Structure 1
Amino acid sequence: MTVYKSKIDWWLIIVIGVLFCYPIVEGIITKDYFLSLVFFGLISLIFLMFKSIKYKIDGQFLIIWWIKIDILKIKKIYSTNNPLSSPALSLDRIAVTYNKFDEVLISPKKRAEFIAELLKINPNIVVEV
Protein backbone atom coordinates (compact mmCIF):
# COMPACT_ATOMS: atom_id res chain seq x y z
CA MET A 1 0.00 0.00 0.00
CA THR A 2 1.31 3.43 -0.98
CA VAL A 3 0.10 6.49 0.93
CA TYR A 4 0.21 10.06 -0.42
CA LYS A 5 -0.45 13.06 1.83
CA SER A 6 -2.52 16.04 0.77
CA LYS A 7 -0.78 19.23 -0.23
CA ILE A 8 -1.71 22.09 2.14
CA ASP A 9 -1.96 25.73 1.04
CA TRP A 10 -0.12 28.12 3.38
CA TRP A 11 -2.95 30.66 3.29
CA LEU A 12 -5.40 28.03 4.59
CA ILE A 13 -3.31 27.52 7.73
CA ILE A 14 -3.11 31.30 8.27
CA VAL A 15 -6.87 31.80 7.86
CA ILE A 16 -7.71 28.95 10.25
CA GLY A 17 -5.04 30.10 12.69
CA VAL A 18 -6.36 33.66 12.79
CA LEU A 19 -10.01 32.63 13.01
CA PHE A 20 -9.47 30.17 15.86
CA CYS A 21 -6.46 31.58 17.74
CA TYR A 22 -8.02 35.01 18.26
CA PRO A 23 -10.86 33.63 20.45
CA ILE A 24 -8.33 31.51 22.37
CA VAL A 25 -6.21 34.58 23.18
CA GLU A 26 -9.32 36.68 23.88
CA GLY A 27 -10.57 34.02 26.31
CA ILE A 28 -7.24 34.02 28.16
CA ILE A 29 -7.13 37.83 28.38
CA THR A 30 -10.74 38.10 29.65
CA LYS A 31 -10.30 35.02 31.86
CA ASP A 32 -13.09 33.24 29.98
CA TYR A 33 -11.20 29.96 29.94
CA PHE A 34 -14.20 27.99 28.68
CA LEU A 35 -14.12 30.02 25.42
CA SER A 36 -10.39 29.29 25.05
CA LEU A 37 -10.92 25.61 25.75
CA VAL A 38 -13.75 25.29 23.20
CA PHE A 39 -11.78 26.98 20.42
CA PHE A 40 -8.63 25.03 21.29
CA GLY A 41 -10.71 21.84 20.97
CA LEU A 42 -12.09 22.99 17.61
CA ILE A 43 -8.67 23.86 16.20
CA SER A 44 -7.34 20.49 17.42
CA LEU A 45 -10.17 18.66 15.61
CA ILE A 46 -9.50 20.62 12.41
CA PHE A 47 -5.80 19.72 12.45
CA LEU A 48 -6.63 16.07 13.17
CA MET A 49 -8.90 16.16 10.12
CA PHE A 50 -6.05 17.71 8.11
CA LYS A 51 -3.73 14.86 9.12
CA SER A 52 -6.35 12.27 8.11
CA ILE A 53 -6.60 13.42 4.48
CA LYS A 54 -4.50 10.86 2.64
CA TYR A 55 -4.77 9.07 -0.67
CA LYS A 56 -3.95 5.35 -0.50
CA ILE A 57 -3.23 3.06 -3.43
CA ASP A 58 -3.92 -0.47 -2.25
CA GLY A 59 -3.63 -3.05 -5.02
CA GLN A 60 -6.00 -1.87 -7.75
CA PHE A 61 -7.95 0.50 -5.48
CA LEU A 62 -7.55 4.19 -4.70
CA ILE A 63 -8.86 4.87 -1.19
CA ILE A 64 -9.82 8.40 -0.18
CA TRP A 65 -11.35 8.45 3.32
CA TRP A 66 -14.23 5.96 2.93
CA ILE A 67 -14.39 6.13 -0.89
CA LYS A 68 -12.88 3.09 -2.61
CA ILE A 69 -12.27 3.68 -6.34
CA ASP A 70 -11.30 0.88 -8.70
CA ILE A 71 -8.24 2.28 -10.52
CA LEU A 72 -9.15 0.25 -13.60
CA LYS A 73 -12.35 2.34 -13.86
CA ILE A 74 -10.53 5.69 -13.79
CA LYS A 75 -10.97 7.35 -17.17
CA LYS A 76 -9.31 10.74 -16.84
CA ILE A 77 -7.14 12.89 -14.58
CA TYR A 78 -6.92 16.64 -15.16
CA SER A 79 -5.70 19.78 -13.36
CA THR A 80 -8.24 22.06 -11.72
CA ASN A 81 -8.49 24.92 -9.24
CA ASN A 82 -12.14 24.23 -8.49
CA PRO A 83 -12.91 25.39 -4.92
CA LEU A 84 -15.72 22.89 -4.34
CA SER A 85 -15.66 21.00 -1.08
CA SER A 86 -13.47 17.94 -1.41
CA PRO A 87 -10.80 15.91 0.42
CA ALA A 88 -8.11 18.37 -0.69
CA LEU A 89 -6.34 21.04 1.39
CA SER A 90 -5.03 22.99 -1.59
CA LEU A 91 -6.62 24.67 -4.60
CA ASP A 92 -3.85 23.16 -6.75
CA ARG A 93 -5.93 20.04 -7.41
CA ILE A 94 -6.45 17.22 -9.80
CA ALA A 95 -9.82 15.82 -10.72
CA VAL A 96 -10.10 12.04 -10.98
CA THR A 97 -12.97 10.96 -13.25
CA TYR A 98 -14.15 7.37 -12.82
CA ASN A 99 -17.13 5.15 -13.61
CA LYS A 100 -19.60 6.94 -15.86
CA PHE A 101 -20.20 10.29 -14.12
CA ASP A 102 -18.22 10.18 -10.85
CA GLU A 103 -15.45 12.61 -10.03
CA VAL A 104 -13.36 13.45 -6.97
CA LEU A 105 -11.04 16.43 -6.45
CA ILE A 106 -7.78 15.73 -4.63
CA SER A 107 -4.43 17.44 -4.06
CA PRO A 108 -1.60 14.94 -3.55
CA LYS A 109 1.67 16.51 -2.41
CA LYS A 110 3.71 14.35 -4.81
CA ARG A 111 1.41 14.75 -7.82
CA ALA A 112 3.70 13.35 -10.55
CA GLU A 113 4.59 10.29 -8.47
CA PHE A 114 0.91 9.72 -7.61
CA ILE A 115 -0.18 9.88 -11.26
CA ALA A 116 2.70 7.62 -12.34
CA GLU A 117 1.60 5.04 -9.75
CA LEU A 118 -1.97 5.13 -11.09
CA LEU A 119 -0.70 4.79 -14.67
CA LYS A 120 1.28 1.66 -13.72
CA ILE A 121 -1.99 0.02 -12.73
CA ASN A 122 -4.14 1.51 -15.51
CA PRO A 123 -2.17 2.82 -18.50
CA ASN A 124 -5.44 3.78 -20.25
CA ILE A 125 -6.01 6.81 -18.01
CA VAL A 126 -6.08 10.06 -20.00
CA VAL A 127 -3.85 12.57 -18.19
CA GLU A 128 -4.27 16.32 -18.81
CA VAL A 129 -2.00 17.86 -16.20
Structure 2
Amino acid sequence: MKTYRSKVDWWLILIIVGIFSYPIVEGISTKQYGLSITMISILMIMFWMFSKIKYVIEGTMLKVWWIKIDIHSIKRIFKTNNPLSSPALSLDRIAIVYNKYDEVLISPKFKKEFVDELLKINPSIIVEI
Protein backbone atom coordinates (compact mmCIF):
# COMPACT_ATOMS: atom_id res chain seq x y z
CA MET A 1 0.00 0.00 0.00
CA LYS A 2 1.36 3.40 -1.01
CA THR A 3 -0.10 6.68 0.19
CA TYR A 4 0.33 10.03 -1.54
CA ARG A 5 -0.71 13.31 0.06
CA SER A 6 -2.32 16.20 -1.79
CA LYS A 7 -0.21 19.16 -2.80
CA VAL A 8 -1.39 22.32 -0.99
CA ASP A 9 -1.48 25.79 -2.56
CA TRP A 10 -0.54 28.36 0.12
CA TRP A 11 -2.78 31.01 -1.47
CA LEU A 12 -5.79 28.69 -1.15
CA ILE A 13 -5.20 28.46 2.60
CA LEU A 14 -4.88 32.27 2.79
CA ILE A 15 -8.19 32.76 0.94
CA ILE A 16 -10.02 30.33 3.21
CA VAL A 17 -8.56 31.84 6.39
CA GLY A 18 -9.27 35.33 5.03
CA ILE A 19 -12.91 34.55 4.31
CA PHE A 20 -13.46 33.15 7.80
CA SER A 21 -11.38 35.79 9.62
CA TYR A 22 -13.83 38.63 9.07
CA PRO A 23 -16.83 36.96 10.77
CA ILE A 24 -14.58 35.68 13.58
CA VAL A 25 -13.19 39.16 14.30
CA GLU A 26 -16.62 40.76 13.81
CA GLY A 27 -18.19 38.30 16.26
CA ILE A 28 -15.56 39.07 18.89
CA SER A 29 -15.74 42.86 18.42
CA THR A 30 -19.57 42.91 18.63
CA LYS A 31 -19.62 40.35 21.47
CA GLN A 32 -21.51 37.85 19.31
CA TYR A 33 -19.34 34.99 20.44
CA GLY A 34 -21.65 32.38 18.94
CA LEU A 35 -20.76 33.67 15.46
CA SER A 36 -17.03 33.46 16.20
CA ILE A 37 -17.29 29.99 17.71
CA THR A 38 -19.36 28.77 14.75
CA MET A 39 -16.89 30.15 12.20
CA ILE A 40 -13.89 28.75 14.08
CA SER A 41 -15.64 25.36 14.27
CA ILE A 42 -16.36 25.35 10.53
CA LEU A 43 -12.76 26.36 9.81
CA MET A 44 -11.43 23.56 12.03
CA ILE A 45 -13.71 20.98 10.34
CA MET A 46 -12.54 22.16 6.91
CA PHE A 47 -8.87 21.86 7.85
CA TRP A 48 -9.50 18.45 9.40
CA MET A 49 -11.16 17.33 6.14
CA PHE A 50 -8.26 18.80 4.13
CA SER A 51 -5.76 16.86 6.21
CA LYS A 52 -7.55 13.63 5.22
CA ILE A 53 -7.11 14.16 1.47
CA LYS A 54 -4.82 11.41 0.25
CA TYR A 55 -4.54 9.00 -2.62
CA VAL A 56 -3.88 5.36 -1.76
CA ILE A 57 -2.69 2.66 -4.15
CA GLU A 58 -3.55 -0.69 -2.66
CA GLY A 59 -3.01 -3.68 -4.91
CA THR A 60 -4.71 -2.80 -8.18
CA MET A 61 -7.07 -0.26 -6.63
CA LEU A 62 -6.66 3.51 -6.34
CA LYS A 63 -8.61 5.04 -3.45
CA VAL A 64 -9.42 8.75 -3.61
CA TRP A 65 -11.50 9.52 -0.52
CA TRP A 66 -14.56 7.27 -0.97
CA ILE A 67 -13.96 6.61 -4.69
CA LYS A 68 -12.34 3.27 -5.56
CA ILE A 69 -10.86 3.02 -9.04
CA ASP A 70 -9.56 -0.17 -10.61
CA ILE A 71 -6.15 0.91 -11.95
CA HIS A 72 -6.65 -1.40 -14.94
CA SER A 73 -9.67 0.73 -15.94
CA ILE A 74 -7.59 3.94 -16.13
CA LYS A 75 -7.31 5.04 -19.76
CA ARG A 76 -5.55 8.39 -19.58
CA ILE A 77 -3.85 10.82 -17.20
CA PHE A 78 -3.34 14.45 -18.18
CA LYS A 79 -2.29 17.75 -16.59
CA THR A 80 -5.05 20.25 -15.82
CA ASN A 81 -5.68 23.43 -13.85
CA ASN A 82 -9.44 22.92 -13.84
CA PRO A 83 -10.86 24.65 -10.73
CA LEU A 84 -13.85 22.32 -10.37
CA SER A 85 -14.49 20.97 -6.92
CA SER A 86 -12.41 17.87 -6.33
CA PRO A 87 -10.33 16.11 -3.67
CA ALA A 88 -7.35 18.35 -4.45
CA LEU A 89 -5.88 21.27 -2.47
CA SER A 90 -3.97 22.72 -5.41
CA LEU A 91 -4.82 23.86 -8.92
CA ASP A 92 -1.71 22.02 -10.12
CA ARG A 93 -3.76 18.92 -10.87
CA ILE A 94 -3.92 15.81 -12.94
CA ALA A 95 -7.08 14.32 -14.36
CA ILE A 96 -7.52 10.57 -14.27
CA VAL A 97 -9.89 9.23 -16.91
CA TYR A 98 -11.20 5.76 -16.13
CA ASN A 99 -13.97 3.40 -17.25
CA LYS A 100 -15.81 4.90 -20.21
CA TYR A 101 -16.64 8.48 -19.14
CA ASP A 102 -15.48 8.81 -15.52
CA GLU A 103 -12.90 11.35 -14.43
CA VAL A 104 -11.41 12.51 -11.14
CA LEU A 105 -9.16 15.53 -10.54
CA ILE A 106 -6.39 15.11 -7.98
CA SER A 107 -3.19 16.91 -6.96
CA PRO A 108 -0.61 14.49 -5.59
CA LYS A 109 2.39 16.24 -4.06
CA PHE A 110 4.80 13.96 -5.94
CA LYS A 111 3.07 13.58 -9.31
CA LYS A 112 5.84 11.74 -11.15
CA GLU A 113 6.22 9.06 -8.48
CA PHE A 114 2.44 8.69 -8.28
CA VAL A 115 2.04 8.26 -12.05
CA ASP A 116 5.05 5.90 -12.21
CA GLU A 117 3.41 3.71 -9.56
CA LEU A 118 0.18 3.58 -11.60
CA LEU A 119 2.17 2.72 -14.74
CA LYS A 120 3.81 -0.22 -12.96
CA ILE A 121 0.35 -1.72 -12.50
CA ASN A 122 -1.16 -0.60 -15.84
CA PRO A 123 1.49 0.28 -18.46
CA SER A 124 -1.19 0.98 -21.10
CA ILE A 125 -2.23 4.27 -19.45
CA ILE A 126 -1.75 7.23 -21.81
CA VAL A 127 0.17 9.89 -19.86
CA GLU A 128 0.13 13.54 -21.00
CA ILE A 129 1.98 15.40 -18.28
Take 1:65 and 1:77, find their aligned partners in 2: how far apart are those partners? 18
Give deviations 1:3-40, integer Å, cap 9, x for gaps.
11111111110110111122112222222111110000
- Residue 119 of structure 1 aligns with an amino acid whose one-letter code is L
Take 1:100 and 1:114, find their aligned partners in 2: how far apart are those partners? 22
Corresponding residue SS for 1:84? coil
Correspondence for 2:33: 33
Matched, 1:93 2:61: no
TM-score by length of 2: 0.96
Correspondence for 1:78: 78
Correspondence for 1:50: 50
Structure 2 unmatched ranges of 5 or more: none
- Residue 116 of structure 2 aligns with an amino acid whose one-letter code is A
Give deviations 1:63-105, integer Å, cap 9, x for gaps.
0111100001111100001111111111110000111111111
Task: Provide the aligned C-alpha RMSD in A.
Answer: 0.8
Structure 1 unmatched ranges of 5 or more: none
Take 1:115 and 1:36, find their aligned partners in 2: how far apart are those partners? 42
Correspondence for 1:21: 21
Correspondence for 2:102: 102
TM-score by length of 1: 0.96
Matched, 1:122 2:85: no
Take 2:104 and 2:40, find their aligned partners in 1: how far apart are those partners? 31
